[in-house]
Amino acid sequence: MNKQNVTFDSHGTDCDAWFFPGAEGSPFDTADGRPVVVMAHGFAGTKDSGLAPYARRFADAGIAVLAFDYRGFGLSGGQPRQRISMKGQADDYRAAIRAAQRQPGVDPQRVILWGISQSGGHALIVAAERTDICAVITMVPLVNGLAAGVHHYPQVGAAAMARSTVVGIGSALAGRAGRPATMMPVVGRPGERAALTSPGFYDDYLAIAGPSWRNEVDASVGLELGGFRADKDADKISAPVLMQIADFDQGAPPQAAAKAAFKARAEVRHYPCDHFDVFEGKEWFEPAVTHQLSFLTRHLVGDRAGSGSAAAAR
């Protein structure tokens, strides 16, 4: 499925995106157009790092897709580079929704929010405040920063967490004073100085990394994560939610995701795997994307799809 390169404005900065119009003759089409998936990556990720296989499957099914890079990451503009702002990334999602609604053939009242890992949390936050969201798909989501810290404590220990906090505070103060930030690797091997050091994560992240991805992030990210609460208003989401949980997730605590799912009245799918095992090339990609298509068919097509289309999505 061909994709188009588009840009959109988010708070005065150009964000880079791919738009997939979707296959013709879609069962999802109505007189108002077809639904559109808005997707972005997780922690320090870029759209060219494993999102295209999901986007193409949606497009092949007749759903439009807009996949984008946050400001300061990938091919999007913005300074400083590689600095994660939870509020800023949620704002980028909102700007991406507006851009997706303007694309030809799209029904602006049928927006699907799709997120993975950290962006799974953003999808919940943004969906809770809107009425134009028709479905939410959140994969291996990070929903509670404090719970994530507790989850990682046995892996890294008190001394490493204390050092990261000190470095993060220093980087944040430097940024406010206009000085260069302190950078750290996004992912490393166990025992190395990096944001993510769980066993297997280094090889798994590099396996999906695209050409625009950089293995560095502003060390102040730990301060951003500490107060992140994507589960806080999950009960306000009016759209159907599919939450896909990796039961052996070393990155995003599955128990926190399960609590958020209950609050959001979500349909829940469990997979006996780790955080990165839902990407293409891993065993659980195919079950995960199949469940997503089935979920969207049931909620957005219903009887109009006919038994054949519904069966094909299962």
Distances (CA, A) of 171 to 50, 161, 312: 29, 15, 51
- Looking at residue 121, what is its pLDDT? 97
The type of residue at 63 is I
| pLDDT for position 176 | 62
b/e burial code for range 103-137 (CB count within 10 A of at least 16 → b): beebbeebbbbbbbbbbbbbbbbbbbeeeebbbbb
* Per-residue pLDDT at 314: 38
Q: Are 247 and 253 in contact (CB under 8 A)?
A: no
**CA gap 59, 278 in Å, rounded:** 19
Model confidence, pTM? 0.89
Q: Are 181 and 171 in contact (CB under 8 A)?
A: yes
Q: The tokens of 49 are what?
A: 């790092």
Which residues of the chain are modeled with pLDDT < 50? Answer: 153, 158-159, 162, 166, 168, 303, 305-314
Burial class (CB in 10 A: 0-12, 13-18, 19+), 267: middle
| pLDDT given at position 310 | 36
pLDDT of residue 307: 38
Q: Which CATH superfamily is domain 4-143+230-313 in?
A: Alpha/Beta hydrolase fold, catalytic domain (3.40.50.1820)
pLDDT in tens, 140-183: 999 998 787 666 535 655 445 545 554 545 555 556 657 667 89
Residues 55 and 39: beta-carbon distance below 8 Å: yes
What pLDDT was estimated at residue 311?
38
Q: Please say whether the beta carbons of 232 and 282 come within 8 A.
A: no
* Domains of the chain by residue range: 4-143+230-313
pLDDT score, position 225: 82
Distance, CA of 80 to CA of 174 (rounded, Å): 12
